[in-house]
Structure 1
C-alpha cells in the first residue's frame, strides 16, 4: 500500500485539535509542511514526553511526509525552552541527513495554536475564516507524526498518551486504550486529593468541564490530551459554568468597553477583523443573532479574552462559542478581509508564568513533570465519530469477538472521516454511536 493508504488504514487523525482526518489533509499539494511541536496549553506534558521517547520515529515520519507531499520545506516548530529536546532533534537530523528545519518559539500562550504557529514560523497570516492550505501550508501535530510512523508499519491508532494532573495524588503521563473512561484514568493515578472536584478534559484554557458523574461515562478519544482535576469552587469552574443569561446580564451591566479583550486577541493581532469588545457590546443589547455578530466565527476560543485580559470578569469566549453555533444554525456566513499584523503584536504575548498565576493553577505546575505509567482496562467504549466529518460505520455486531487493532468502524477512503479500531481484545457487547468491548481472551486450540 501507499504512504497515504497506510494512513487511512490506520485511522490516523490530527491529534492536537479537532481531529482532521490525516489521509484527507495529505491529499493536498502544499509548498510547506509545518509540524506543530509546541504544546499550547499550560500543565500538559503529553507531546513533550512523546517527543523525548519517539523523536527518531517522528523525524522519520516527517521526512517521509515531506517526500510524499513533495513539499519544498518541512519545518518543525517547538519551544525554545526545550533545549535538550532540540539537541536530540538536531543530532538525529544531522545523522540521517534529513531535510527538516527547526524553528523555536518563546514560551507564551497560545504558542502551539495552529494559526499563531504558522505566523511565527512563516510570517504568514492564514486568511480570516480560512485554512492553512490557503497559504500553501499543511500542519500536523507532532503526536500525529508518531501515528503516521506506526501506520507505515501496519499499526492502527488504538492508544493515547494523557497528562493527568491537578488535584490528584500523583500526576502522571499515562498510556491508555482509546475508549477507557476518564474515571478509570483518575483511578489509575491513585485518585483525587479531594472528595468533590470537577474534571477538565483538555487544558485549563480551552478544556471542557465534566462532573465526577460525567467522568464515569466520558471516554478517552484519539484527540484527548489532558485530564485536570480542580476544586468545585475554583474560579475556572465558576466562570465556565455561568449561564448565558447571567453572562448577558453581566455584559450589559459591567462591560466597560476597555477593549483589552480585542487588544490581546491573537487573531486580531495577526490581522483578522475580530473585535470581541464590539461583539460583547452588541450581545448585551441584542437577542437576534444575525450578521452583526459574524466576526464571532473567527474566534479560536483560546480564552485569553476572558481568562487573562478582561478586568470585569465577563466571558467573551463563551459568548463567541454560543454565537458561532447560532451563526451556523441561521446559515450566516460572511467573507472577511485580512489586514496586516499589528506591529505591537510581539509586545502582547501572554507569558505562561503570568498565565499560571492568573488562573490560580501554579501549584499544579510547580509539582514538576509527571512520571509515566501504562494503564489497562477490561472495558472500552469507542466512539465511531472522533474526528471532523462523517462518523465511521460499525462493521461489527454484538457478540462478535475482536482482537486489538481490528477494524470495528469503517469509512471509505474518499470520505471525510477515519476508520476506528478495537483498542483491546474481547467481545462486542453494545453497538450504536460507539462500540463497547469487554475483555475476553480465547484459549489457544
Structure 2
C-alpha cells in the first residue's frame, strides 16, 4: 500500500481547519511544502503541545510528505516566541539531517491563516477564491502531520484528538480523547467549570463555533477538526457578538455604519491583494440595497471569516463577518475573480494585529498565558461519531446497529467518486445507533449474537 493510500485508509483530514481530506491534498506536486505551526487563533495551546511532545514524529512525517509532493523547499513556520517548541524541532531536524527550514513569524493575528502564511513565505498571493497549490504550495498543520505519522508508520487510523480545555475551568489542560467524546466529559477532565452557567466555544475565540444553550453543549462532541474548548461567561463580548440575528445586524448597519472602511483596511485577504473583497461595501449594500442578488454580495465568498472586521476593526461594533457568512450560504455560487496580477496593499506589513492586543480587545486577557495542568488521556464508555467531519460528502455507513466494532475499525467509508474521508471507531463496543449522520458506540453494551 502506498503512503497516500495509507493516509486515505486512516481517514486523515486537516486537523486545524475545515478538514480537507489529506490524501487528496498530497496527490499534487508542489514547489513548497509548508508546515503551519503558528497556532492561528488567540489563547490556543494544542499545536504547541504537539510540537513539544511529538517533534520527532511530526518531522518524520514532514520528511516523507515532502517527497510525496516533490517539494523543492520545505518550510516549517511558527511564531518567534515559541522558543521551547523551536528548540525541540531544531534538535530533531539536526539529529536526522532533515532538509527543513524554519520561518519565524511575529505574534500577530492571523499569522496562521494559510494564505497569509503562503504570502509571507513565498511572496506570492493565492488567487481570490483559490488554494495555495495554485502558487506552488501545499500547507499542512502539525496536528495533521502527527496523524500522518501514525498512518504511515503505525498503520493507525484517526481515532483520537488532542484538545486544549481553557478559560473558565478549574484545571486548564490538554486532554487526549477518543473522537466522538462529549464536550462535557472534556470539561470534567479539566476539573469542571468555575461557572454555574457558561457558554462554550469549540475552536478559537475568533472563528470557533459558539454554543450557548445547555442542550447544544450537551449534544456537542469532539471531531477530527476540534482543537480547543473555551469556556466563557454567557455575557462575554465574543459570545454576545455571535448571538445576533441577521435582522438585528442589518438594523445596526443601517443606523450605525459610518463608512470608515476600517473593516476593509484591516482585512488580511484584502491586504495581500484580494482587491474585490471590500467588507465596507458589503455592509453598505446590506443597509441600502433591496435585492439580495446585488453583485457585491457575491464577493462574500472571498471572506476567510477571520473575524478581524467585527471583533477588532469596526469602531461601531458591527458584524461584517456574520454578514459574509450569511451571504455565502444564501448565494452558494463560486466567485469568479477578474484579477490577473495580484498586488499586495502598500500597508500590508504595517496592519498586522498584535495577538496580545487582539486578546485585550476581546476582553480575554485574564485567560492569556494560562498555566496548564499536566495533560491527561480520557477513557470513555460511549462516543457519538459524526459521519461528516470533513470537506466533501459524508462518509458512507458500513456498520449496523447491534454490531460489535473494535477500536480503529472502519465504520464509514469514502463514497465512490466523491471527495471525503474514512471514519473509524474510536472505542471498542456495540453500535447502538447508526444512520447517515452519526454512529453511537457503547463500550458497556452487550452484543447479542
Question: Shared fold by TM > 0.5?
Answer: yes
Question: Per-residue deviation at 1:441?
Answer: 8.6
What residue in structure 2 maps to residue 399 of structure 1? 402
Question: Per-residue deviation at 1:335?
Answer: 2.2
Pick from 245, 248, 253: which aligns with 1:246? Answer: 248
What residue in structure 2 maps to residue 20 of structure 1? 20
For residues 170 and 145 of structure 2, the distance between their equivalents in structure 1, rounded to whole angstroms, comes to 32
The SS at the match of 1:43 is coil
What residue in structure 1 maps to residue 232 of structure 2? 230
Tell whether 2:380 aligns with 1:377: yes
What residue in structure 1 maps to residue 150 of structure 2? 150
What residue in structure 1 maps to residue 223 of structure 2? 221
Stretches of 4+ moved more than 4 A in 1?
A: none
Any gaps of 5 or more consecutive residues in structure 2? none
What residue in structure 2 maps to residue 312 of structure 1? 316
Q: Is the 8 A contact 1:408 1:422 kept in 2?
A: yes
Question: Per-residue deviation at 1:288?
Answer: 2.0
Question: Per-residue deviation at 1:398?
Answer: 0.5
Tell whether 2:365 aligns with 1:362: yes
- Number of aligned positions between the proteins: 441
Q: Is the 8 A contact 1:128 1:336 kept in 2?
A: no
For residues 398 and 10 of structure 1, the distance between their equivalents in structure 2, rounded to whole angstroms, comes to 23
What residue in structure 2 maps to residue 5 of structure 1? 5
The SS at the match of 1:88 is helix
TM-score by structure 1 length?
A: 0.96
Q: Is the 8 A contact 2:171 2:372 kept in 1?
A: no
Tell whether 2:189 aligns with 1:185: no
- Structure 1 332/419 Cα, relative in aligned 2: closer, same or farther at 3 Å? closer
For residues 72 and 136 of structure 1, the distance between their equivalents in structure 2, rounded to whole angstroms, comes to 10
The SS at the match of 2:349 is helix
RMSD (CA atoms): 1.5
The SS at the match of 1:124 is coil
For residues 87 and 173 of structure 1, the distance between their equivalents in structure 2, rounded to whole angstroms, comes to 21
What residue in structure 2 maps to residue 298 of structure 1? 302
Residues 46-445 of structure 1: pairs in structure 2 closer than 5 A: 46-152=46-152, 153-211=154-212, 212-273=214-275, 274-290=277-293, 291-328=295-332, 331=333, 333-337=335-339, 339-411=342-414, 415-432=418-435, 433-440=437-444
For residues 374 and 332 of structure 1, the distance between their equivalents in structure 2, rounded to whole angstroms, comes to 42
Q: Is the 8 A contact 1:80 1:107 kept in 2?
A: yes
Q: Is the 8 A contact 1:33 1:137 kept in 2?
A: yes
Moved more, 88-97 or 47-56: 88-97
The SS at the match of 2:375 is strand
Question: Per-residue deviation at 1:413?
Answer: 7.6
The SS at the match of 1:216 is helix
Q: Is the 8 A contact 1:126 1:134 kept in 2?
A: yes
Q: Is the 8 A contact 1:8 1:413 kept in 2?
A: no
Moved more, 285-294 or 77-86: 285-294
- Structure 1 332/141 Cα, relative in aligned 2: closer, same or farther at 3 Å? closer
Any gaps of 5 or more consecutive residues in structure 1? none
Q: Is the 8 A contact 2:430 2:446 kept in 1?
A: no
The SS at the match of 1:63 is helix
Question: Per-residue deviation at 1:71?
Answer: 1.3
For residues 277 and 77 of structure 1, the distance between their equivalents in structure 2, rounded to whole angstroms, comes to 32
Question: Per-residue deviation at 1:157?
Answer: 0.3
For residues 5 and 442 of structure 1, the distance between their equivalents in structure 2, rounded to whole angstroms, comes to 34
For residues 285 and 98 of structure 1, the distance between their equivalents in structure 2, rounded to whole angstroms, comes to 57
For residues 159 and 291 of structure 2, the distance between their equivalents in structure 1, rounded to whole angstroms, comes to 44
For residues 9 and 154 of structure 1, the distance between their equivalents in structure 2, rounded to whole angstroms, comes to 9
- Structure 1 369/118 Cα, relative in aligned 2: closer, same or farther at 3 Å? farther
For residues 370 and 310 of structure 1, the distance between their equivalents in structure 2, rounded to whole angstroms, comes to 36
Question: Per-residue deviation at 1:339?
Answer: 3.0
The SS at the match of 2:54 is helix
Q: Is the 8 A contact 1:327 1:333 kept in 2?
A: no
Q: For 1:236-275, what per-residue CA distance to the aligned partner results, in whole angstroms no more than 9, with x for missing partners? A: 1221101100110000010000011111100010010211
